[in-house]
Chain A
Amino acid sequence: MSDTQQHSISFVRTETLPEREPPYAASGPVKWMRENLFATIPNGILTIVSLYVIYLILAATLPWILNGVWNTASLSECRDVLDGTVGACFSVLTERWNQLIFGFQYPEELYWRPGLAFLLLFVAAAPVLFFDLPRKLLIFTALYPFIAFYLIWGGTILTPIVALVGFVAAGFFWKNFVARSFALGFFGSIVVAFIVWWLGGFLISDTANENAAMQAVPSRDLGGFMLNMMLGVTCVSLSVPLGIALALGRQSSMPLIKWICVIFIEFIRGVPLITLLFVASVMLSYFFPPESQVDLFLRVVIMITMFSSAYIAEVIRGGLAALPKGQYEAADSLGLDYPQAMRLIILPQALKISIPGIVNIAVGLFKDTTLVSVISMFDILGMIRGPILASTEWNGVYWELLGFAALLFFIVCYGISQYSQWLERRLATDHR
């Protein structure tokens, strides 16, 4: 017995074996490759095909990019430098950098102004984009439109100040009277704002813009990527409130208001942006009072804002529809009236659901600002297709310019969509 015991004991190990390396094929890069690249035969074929595609793309672009020429004054000079080898003439970007970014008419000594406005945009946008930042920063966000207007257009400082005072007065009125009656507060504040602007109009003399501290720049002189940014930022921020109003209007129980909103939204969504831009460029001026001059930039802003507000309205309507009916009923049962219910209960939840959709619309809209090049505005694409490609020096450079424009848009749009995904994860609290 002890024998057997002894015998069996000899098979019991008293200490653990030292850990062995896993088999070569089941660990490390090899395992990873077997699992992820060559799991099955068709999979392996796919991998090889993909590798070949990547090779083709890189082989076509890498030498071209790496061999690029950055400092020549014209295409022919660049071709001389390249001397028949494959390479890009990036010198068109360095030589025409200012034109690509600011357009060809913005005064060169004033480039710091839009540059500063661009930097401040990040400061202003930060508290809206990231909720953790101190709420006090929102004050700067509220002031930003006026600062940016002053920086970019220049002219007399009275214009943005009067506009600001109008808003402040309206807000003051709203705060004091909204408790008494929503309608009184709402319509009253609009009236107050207009009175302030009207009075302010007398303050600003006709010649104020000529001898202002900041040189005035007419909006026709804006151009380049700056124009895309400005159109994008302006139209998105204007169209969000308008979109909310349209969405609420479309949900309204008042048939007349509902139908106005439905017709507006469906009409705008039914036509391509380019026809609306045609309206801005060839039709809209007939609808303004005779003798008044509304410049093309403003007309385009009006049309793009209308366009994007219709899309945003649909996104927000989706958000409103996604809220359970109980929320509406709960608000009613608390005795809240319509504006209170909307402001305190419905909209905060609905907007939260709609944020990713709104961001998508914003990205789409920003991309669509390139369409203004079709109606002879010199945004970045307009600059490329017009003055730069038509010039004697750079007649025939396509890839560098188009690639640069594509890269700029990619950076901005990809950045925004990454932010949107981050936000979606952040907001993924259970809201049901």
Chain B
Amino acid sequence: MTTMTDPPRESFRLSMLINDTRYRSMTFQAIALFSLIVAIAYLANNLLTNLAAQGLNIAYDFLGDPAGYDINQRLIEYDSQSSNARAAVVGILNTLLVAFLACFMATVFGVIAGVLRLSKNWLVSKLMAFYVEIFRNIPVLIWIIIIFTIMTAVMPAPRAFRGDEPEATMLFGAFAFTNRGVYIPAPVWGPGSMVVVLTFLASIAGVIGYRRYATNLLYATGKLLPMGWPSLAIFFVPTILVYLIMGRPIGLEYPELGGFNFRGGIQIGAPLIALWFALSIYTGAFIAENVRAGIQSVSKGQTEAASALGLRPNRVMNLVVLPQALRVIIPPLISQYLNITKNSSLAIAVGYADITATLGGITLNQTGRAIECVLLLMLFYLTISLSISGIMNVYNKSVALKER
């Protein structure tokens, strides 16, 4: 109806780069990019000058050279003639092993302490509060060293088991607790043991199948099948039967004193135990707090409503409280797992051969390739962290409240 005229198109002026919000962000980013490039160039230039001045270079050839040292705990074949790269892989596996064990144990400690801290029993809740405070407020490195010192200074040396009246004896004749580690019986896989293992796996599948069937039946017809004892039966009976039928194919090899150490059985080294326990107890204190916060975050009304519906207490816990609490508990739990993995790098203090001790320790010392080793080390931890946080993001998305 009226002639709309566009406002006169402003021609671009240089001052708009600073004053016009449309262009200002461009200016800032350009400045940031420029300073970033300058900074990187400056650092790289320094690095190259320094390296050139000393006639050094950056090269990764050393990874293929024989490492030349031995590692006391290895999950894969390794000897002193293996390459540095293989030593690094041994270290990676050891890191993952101790991280996995510690995550499991820390969860157990944390859940127990977290639940008990909410207990109505005054003494128990105070004791748990004491545990949480004492472990949260003292550095993990001190705990690792303390527990390692307990391992080495308090436990008996293997030579204490020697003689007619030894100072120390093995537990049940099968477990030896020494200051070099714990020796436990190792399974010996005889012929036919595969069948037993397969049966065992099948019975696990059976338990899951049965429980799923029972749940479906409950939802479909309202008929409640017993869950507890049939699960146990499916879990144990077939395996034991097959084990007996096959003529006990799986035996145990007991550790015995021989030479300087115990021989036979499985040795769990003292450094592994010290690191494992220290990390679990320390992180368990943090997890306990997460668990407590999670349970407290479920409002009392939920419990009361569930009881009003006639649910029994254990069902209230399983069906109402836990699913809601887990939503709060799991994200911090996963970041605690991440912390365990990162803190496992303190293995260096107790001589556990993790990646920091092999690649970032002995290999670095022997080859003198400090920059390369530290870079690879950071790359490894970065990969682990990013994958764990990736998993966490997926989980968070899947449990996020679906609001409609």
Contacts and interface: CB of A to CB of B under 8 A. Distances in A.
In the complex, is A directly touching B at CB under 8 Å?
yes
Interface of A: 35-37, 39, 43, 46-47, 50-51, 53-54, 181, 183, 253-257, 260, 266-267, 269-275, 278-279, 282-283, 285-290, 363, 367-368, 370-371, 373-374, 381, 385, 398-399, 402, 405-406, 409-410, 413-414, 417
B127 A50 contact: yes
Of A183, A275, A288, A417, most buried by chain B (CB within 10 Å of CB) is: A275
Contacts of B149: 398-399, 402
B127 A282 contact: no
A271 B342 contact: yes
A414 B18 contact: no
22 contacts: A36-B123, A37-B121, A47-B121, A254-B25, A255-B29, A260-B36, A270-B381, A270-B385, A271-B381, A272-B342, A275-B374, A279-B374, A282-B364, A282-B370, A287-B47, A288-B46, A290-B46, A371-B141, A374-B349, A398-B153, A410-B134, A410-B138
B142 interface: yes
B366 to A, nearest CB: 14
Given A256-B29, A370-B142, A409-B137, A290 B374 contact: no
B346 interface: yes
Nearest to B32: A257
B320 interface: no
B57 interface: no
B133 A414 contact: yes
Interface string B336-359: 000000110110110000001000
B300 to A, nearest CB: 19
B289 to A, nearest CB: 10
Contacts of B29: 254-257
B145 interface: yes
Nearest to A258: B29
A290 B50 contact: yes
Contacts of A270: 381-382, 384-386
Contacts of A279: 374, 378
A278 B119 contact: no
A184 B1 CA distance: 47
Interface in B22-43: 25, 28-29, 32-33, 36, 43
Contacts of B345: 272, 274-275
A373 to B, nearest CB: 7
A79 to B, nearest CB: 15
Contacts of B119: 43, 46
A181 B18 contact: yes
Contacts, number: 150
Nearest to A412: B137
Contacts of B222: none
Contact of B140 (A53, A254, A367): A367
A386 to B, nearest CB: 13
Contact of A266 (B138, B141, B145, B386): B386
Contact of A282 (B120, B348, B374): B374
A260 B381 contact: no
Given A272-B342, A282-B364, A287-B46, 13 more contacts: A37-B121, A39-B120, A46-B124, A47-B121, A260-B32, A274-B348, A282-B371, A283-B370, A283-B371, A285-B50, A286-B50, A287-B43, A406-B146
B360 interface: yes
Nearest to A398: B149
Contacts of B381: 270-272, 275
B138 A381 contact: no
Interface of B: 18, 25, 28-29, 32-33, 36, 43, 46-47, 49-51, 53, 116, 119-124, 127, 133-134, 136-142, 145-146, 149, 153, 342-343, 345-346, 348-349, 356, 360, 364, 370-371, 374, 377-378, 381-382, 384-386
A37 to B, nearest CB: 6
A62 B378 CA distance: 45
Nearest to A278: B374
A35 B120 CA distance: 8
A275 B378 contact: yes
Given A272-B342, A290-B53, A267 B142 contact: no
A286 B51 contact: yes
Nearest to B348: A374
B120 A274 contact: no
Contacts of A50: 121, 123-124, 127
A256 B377 CA distance: 27
Contact of B47 (A51, A286, A371, A409): A286
Contacts of B371: 282-283, 286
Contact of B138 (A47, A367, A417): A367
B142 A409 contact: yes
B374 to A, nearest CB: 5
A266 B371 CA distance: 21
The 4 closest A-B pairs by CB, nearest first: A270-B385, A413-B137, A36-B122, A367-B139
Contact of B346 (A43, A257, A274, A283): A274
Given A267-B382, A282-B374, A363 B137 contact: yes
A409 B46 contact: no
B137 A253 contact: no
A368 B18 CA distance: 43
Contacts of B123: 36-37, 46-47, 50-51
B210 to A, nearest CB: 30
Nearest to A380: B142
B402 to A, nearest CB: 20
Contacts of B51: 286
Nearest to A48: B123
A393 B134 CA distance: 31
Contacts of B145: 381, 385, 402
Contacts of B378: 271, 275, 279
Nearest to B44: A287
Nearest to B364: A282
A308 B153 CA distance: 35
B133 A381 contact: no
A257 to B, nearest CB: 5
B370 A183 contact: no
Contacts of B53: 290
A237 B216 CA distance: 58
A47 B137 contact: no
Contacts of B364: 282
Contact of B124 (A47, A260, A283, A368): A47
A284 B49 CA distance: 14
A64 to B, nearest CB: 13
Contacts of A288: 46
A274 B348 CA distance: 10
Contact of A54 (B127, B138, B356): B127
B351 to A, nearest CB: 13
